[in-house]
Amino acid sequence: MPSSKLLIYGSYGYTGKLIVDECLRRGIKPVLAGRNGTKLKEQAVTHELEYRAFPLDIVSTVAGKLVDIDAVLHCAGPFIHTAEVMSEACLGSGTHYLDITGEIEVFEMMASKSGKAKAAGIVLLPGVGFDVVPSDCLARHASEQMPDARFLKLFISFNGTFSAGTAATAIEHFAKGGSVRKGGAITKVEPGWKTEEVNFISYTGLTVTIPWGDVSTAYYSTGIADIEVYMRLPKKAIKRMKIGRFLQPLTRLAFVRNYLKKKVRRMGDGPDASERKKGETRVLSTVTDDAGNSRSFLQISPEGYTLTARTATDCALRVMNGEANNGFQTPSLAFGSDYIMDFEGVSRQSV
């Protein structure tokens, strides 16, 4: 699609850079964008790409920057602060919108704009990274294998580290506590609400409920109204999470959040190339019907940021190619439950 234009906003962030590299590897020349002209210029000169510097403040101004753009791949988070302006600008300019959020509120915001997106003739496809492409495809696959399933649990296991941007986004949401879906409604629960020991096949680990994006998206992808998402964490971290319940009110204060974000920044940007190469992710999906019958499926995929770069780029290309219906979509609604199986290093089994 030589005439299609993809704009990557937040292109000089840790994950944005990986996505730009993946685009170049696939022969796509994206337009770089963000709010820092100096960083953009440096990145644009290095890769001989066009760039546009603009903040995400006034919708009409942002829409003006997108009039010749076919799709925006939005990589500037926490998205709770940026997705509203960018998605409204996309609605105004008739530009497809994709992002790499994992934030429940942002998915719900996008779902609520589905009618507007259809009227504007655009696709709204949030969550095209590790959170939620692999888990969303696996959840839908599990529900297709047990169509009358009433409960869904997803268990996620990383063996790598997080980027500073991901940690900052988690801090931003910590004060809101945990979330699960009960009877179709997103329901608040305490941080570290439930734990379960899980067999990820080659190892076992303790997992804990977390407010992961699938609490929102798996409902749209599977129709299942009761959803819990768990993550494998060290026992010490789970203990701290529970103790953290008492500190939770403190993190409602912006200066406390800013202090924690600065501390996280000092730990470095994110996993380096060798860590990303070594890393691996596993997702276990269990569906259960009213009679208590269960089925479980395990999916193995590459390290989270490597996978994010690949899935985000691929989703954007497919959307520009007209492969997704207009309106709000989840990855599996857009491309099917087997979409994730197209990526190198992904395998799935019934367990």
Ligand X SMILES: NC(=O)c1ccc[n+]([C@@H]2O[C@H](COP(=O)([O-])OP(=O)(O)OC[C@H]3O[C@@H](n4cnc5c(N)ncnc54)[C@H](OP(=O)(O)O)[C@@H]3O)[C@@H](O)[C@H]2O)c1
How many separate helices (H) and strands (E) can be counted in the chain? Answer: 14, 16
User: Whole-angstrom Cα distance, residue 191 to residue 351?
Assistant: 29
Residue (of 225, 251, 224) closest to 145 by Cα position? 224
User: Whole-angstrom Cα distance, residue 307 to residue 129?
Assistant: 7
**Could you tell me the two tokens for 87?**
């998605």
Q: Report the residue from 5, 14, 314, 335 that binds ligand X according to the rule CB under 6 A.
A: 14
DSSP 30: P
The answer to whether residue 102 forms part of the interface with ligand X (CB under 6 A) is: yes
The answer to whether residue 137 forms part of the interface with ligand X (CB under 6 A) is: no
CB of 212 to ligand X, least distance (A): 10
The answer to whether residue 306 forms part of the interface with ligand X (CB under 6 A) is: no
CB of 288 to ligand X, least distance (A): 26
CB of 294 to ligand X, least distance (A): 27
* 26 residue type, one letter: R
Asked if residue 289 lies in contact with residue 222, where contact means CB atoms within 8 angstroms, the answer is no
**Per-residue binding letters, 19-58, with ligand X (x by CB under 6 A):** ---------------xxx-------------------x--
User: How many other CB atoms are found less than 10 A from the CB of residue 22?
Assistant: 19
Residue (of 52, 57, 117, 112) closest to 81 by Cα position? 57
Sheet holding 6-9, edge to edge: 51-53, 31-34, 6-9, 71-74, 96-99, 123-125, 327-328
CB of 276 to ligand X, least distance (A): 12
Residue whose CB is less far from ligand X, 234 or 268: 268
The answer to whether residue 315 forms part of the interface with ligand X (CB under 6 A) is: no
Q: Report the residue from 5, 7, 8, 12 that binds ligand X according to the rule CB under 6 A.
A: 12
Q: Report the residue from 6, 49, 82, 281 that binds ligand X according to the rule CB under 6 A.
A: 82
Q: Report the residue from 87, 143, 166, 329 that binds ligand X according to the rule CB under 6 A.
A: 166
Q: How many residues lie near ligand X (CB under 6 A)?
A: 31
Residues found near ligand X in the complex (CB under 6 A): 10, 12-16, 34-36, 56, 75-79, 81-82, 100, 102, 129-131, 163-166, 169, 269-270, 305, 308
